[in-house]
Amino acid sequence: MKNSHCYTRCLLTLLIVLVSFPAFSQQKPNITILATGGTIAGAAGSGAQSGYTSGQVTIDAMINAVPDVLNLADISGEQISNVGSQDMSFDIMLKLAHRIEELASNQEADGVVITHGTDTMEETAYFLNLVVKADIPVVLVGSMRPSTAISADGPLNLYNAVAVAADPNARGLGVLLVMNDWIHSAQTLTKVSTTAVQTFMSPLRGLIGTTAYGVNDFYRTPDQRFGKSSEFSVSGVTELPRVDIIYGSADMSADLITAAVELGAKGIVVAGVGNGNMNKASLEACAEASKKGVVVVRSTRVATGTVGRNVETDDDALGLIASYNLNPQKSRVLLSVALLEQRGLDEMQRIFVEY
Ligand code: GLU
C-alpha cells in the first residue's frame, strides 16, 4: 500500500517535470522581440546602394521576412523605438530595462530579443547587463547591411538570436549579443569595423559561444558581475547623471575637461592614450575636477588591453579611477549608473574592477 502510494507520487512528479520542459511537451518557448531600429530595420533604394535610412522596417515586417523563426518559438513583437542607434538614449534604454523586467515577472516571455543598430549596441547591451535582474535570456541583434541589400545579414542574425534566446542554456549568462554566428557577452564585446559584417569582437575575454543556423554551442559563463549579482537597480529611475567622454591625443587641450565640469558633468571619462594616460595639463584639470566632486575615470582610446591603477599616473594622489577592462563608452555607462548613489572613490574603483 505504502509502495503503491509512493509509485503514484513519483509518476505524478515525473509527469509534471516532463510537461514543464518544452522539448517533452512540444510547447514552444515564448520569445518577445523588442525592436528599437537600426540597420536591421534599414532600407535603401536598391540592393547595391551604400546609403540608406535606419529604422524604416517595422518589427512585424522583420518577423515576416524570417518565417523560420516561428519553428523555434512563439514570437510576439513590440516596437520600443525606431531609431538609428546614433540616436539611442538612456531614456530608451530605461524603457527596455523596465519592459524586460515586466515580461519576466509576468512570465510573458521565456526570452527576449532586442533588435538594435550596431553603432551603440555595446552601450545598450552593457547597460541592460548591469541593471536587469531577470535571468531569462536577453539577446541583442542587429545587422551591418540593410534589409534591402545584396546578401543582407539581418535575417540569419535574427534567426540565430531567437535560437539563443529560446535556449535554456542561455539562462543566467547575462545580456548577450548574437551577430555573424558569434555569441558575445555584453561585458566583453565591442564594435571594431564601420562596414564589415564581422564587426563585433570580444578581444580580452573571448566569446561566450557560437551559433550556426540555430544550433548553439556555449563555451563559458561571464566572469564579471551582472544581473542578479549586480548591485545596481534602475527601478523608479527616469534619468541618469551627466557623464562626458573626452578624447585624448598628443598635445591635447585641458579646456574640454574644465568645460565639462562647468557645464555640470557629474562624471568624466577620458579616452586616454596608451594605458589611460594624458598630458600634464589634462591631469591637472582632472585632479581639479576630482577635488570638486566630479568622478574622473581614465580609460583608453586603444582598442584592447586594460587600464591599470597607479601605473604611469598617480591615481591615489590625483583622485582618479582606472577603468580596467572597460572602454570609454562602457565606462561612461557604468559611471552613469554608479553615480545614481553617493559613493566614495574607493567604492567607485572597486566597481570598475568588479563589473
Ligand atoms: N547608424 C546605424 C545604427 O547604428 C547603422 C549601424 C547599424 O545598425 O549597423 O543604427
Which residue's CA lies nearest to atom 1 of ligand 1? 84
Asked whether the predicted pLDDT for residue 25 surpasses 60, the reply is: no
Examine residue 25 and state whether it is found in any structural domain, yes or no.
no
333-354 residue pLDDT tens: 999 999 999 999 999 999 999 9
What one-character DSSP code corresponds to residue 197?
A: S
Cα distance between residue 300 and residue 92, in whole Å: 27
Over residues 236-269, the pLDDT tens digits come to: 999 999 999 999 999 999 999 999 999 999 999 9
Calculate how far, in angstroms, residue 83's C-alpha sits from the geometric centre of ligand 1: 9
Indicate whether 1 pLDDT > 70: no
**Whether residue 149 sits in one domain with residue 116:** yes
Model confidence at 6: pLDDT above 80: no
Cβ of 86 closer than 6 Å to ligand 1, yes or no, is yes
- Dist. CA 106 → ligand 1 center (Å): 32
Are 268 and 153 in the same domain?
no
User: Do 59 and 187 belong to one domain?
Assistant: yes
In a domain, 110, yes or no: yes
Residue 23 above 90 pLDDT?
A: no
**Does residue 258 form part of some domain?**
yes
Instruction: Give domain status of residue 21, yes or no.
Output: no
Confidence of residue 61 (pLDDT cuts 50, 70, 90): confident
Q: Output the pLDDT for position 22.
A: 47
Best residue among 52, 118, 145, 198 to mutate for probing ligand 1, ranked by most atoms within 8 Å of CB: 118
Residue ending a domain, choose from 174, 196, 229:
229
Task: Kindly state whether residues 345 and 283 are assigned to the same domain.
Answer: yes
Instruction: Please provide the average confidence, as pLDDT, over all residues in the chain.
Output: 92
Mutate to test the pocket of ligand 1, among 36, 50, 82, 86 (most ligand atoms within 8 A of CB): 86
Task: Give me the pLDDT at residue 8, please.
Answer: 53
- How many C-beta atoms lie closer than 10 Å to residue 76's C-beta? 15
Instruction: State whether the beta carbon of 185 lies less than 6 angstroms from ligand 1.
Output: no
Give SS3 for 179. Answer: strand
The predicted model scores a pTM of 0.91
Span 266-315, pLDDT tens digits: 999 999 999 999 999 999 999 999 999 999 999 999 999 999 999 999 99
Residues pairing with 272 in the sheet:
300
Kindly state whether residues 143 and 284 are assigned to the same domain: no
Tell me which residue has its CA closest to atom 8 in ligand 1. Answer: 117
**Ligand 1 proximity of 157 Cβ (cutoff 6 Å):** no
Res 3: pLDDT = 52
Ligand 1 pocket member 216 (CB < 6 A): no
Residue 130 has pLDDT above 70, yes or no: yes
- Which pLDDT score, from 0 to 100, does residue 40 have? 82
Give dist(CA 102, CA 100) in Å, integer.
5
Residue ranges making up the domain that contains 302: 243-354
For the chain, the first-to-last Cα distance in angstroms comes to 57
Specify the ligand 1 atom closest to the Cα of 42: 8
In this predicted structure, the answer to whether residue 213 has a pLDDT above a threshold of 80 is: yes
Q: Do residues 206 and 247 both lie within one domain?
A: no
Q: How many residues does the chain have?
A: 355
Tell me what pLDDT residue 240 has: 98
Confidence of residue 24 (pLDDT cuts 50, 70, 90): low
Residue 39 annotated to the active site: yes
For 279-337, give the DSSP string: -HHHHHHHHHHHHTT-EEEEEESSSSS-B-TTSSS-HHHHT-EE-BT--HHHHHHHHHH
- pLDDT tens digit sequence for 39-59: 787 666 667 766 767 667 888
Q: Which CATH number characterizes residue 343's domain?
A: 3.40.50.40
Residue 114 and residue 48 share a domain: yes
Which atom of ligand 1 lies closest to the CA of 55? 10
> What is the number of alpha carbons within 13 Å of residue 55 lying toward its C-beta?
17
> What's the CA-to-centroid distance between 259 and ligand 1, angstroms?
30
Q: Are residues 141 and 280 in the same domain?
A: no
CA 119–ligand 1 middle distance (angstroms): 5
Indicate the range of 32-41, 82-91, 130-139, 159-168 predicted with least confidence.
Answer: 32-41
Residue 140 binned pLDDT confidence (cut-offs 50, 70, 90): very high
Domain harbouring 127, CATH code = 3.40.50.1170
Query: pLDDT tens digit string along 93-123?
Result: 999 999 999 999 999 999 999 999 999 999 9
Ligand 1 nearest atom to the CA of residue 38, by list position: 10
Of 32, 39, 199, 211, the catalytic one is: 39
Supply the pLDDT for residue 54. 66
Q: Indicate if 309 and 349 belong to the same structural domain.
A: yes
pLDDT at 60: 86
Report how far ligand 1's centroid is from the alpha carbon of 183 (Å).
Answer: 19
Q: What's the pLDDT score for residue 265?
A: 98
Are 211 and 116 a contacting pair, CB within 8 Å?
no
319 lines ligand 1 (CB under 6 A): no
Full DSSP string of 234-294: -TT------EEEEE--TT--SHHHHHHHHTT-SEEEEEEBTTTB--HHHHHHHHHHHHTT-
Tell me whether strands 267-272 and 295-300 are parallel, antiparallel or unpaired. Answer: parallel
pLDDT: is 202 or 3 the higher one? 202
Pick the atom of ligand 1 nearest to 142's CA.
Answer: 8
Q: Into how many domains does the chain fold?
A: 2
Binding site membership of 146 for ligand 1 (Cβ less than 6 Å): no
Q: 117: Cβ below 6 Å to ligand 1?
A: yes
219 and 251 assigned to the same domain: no
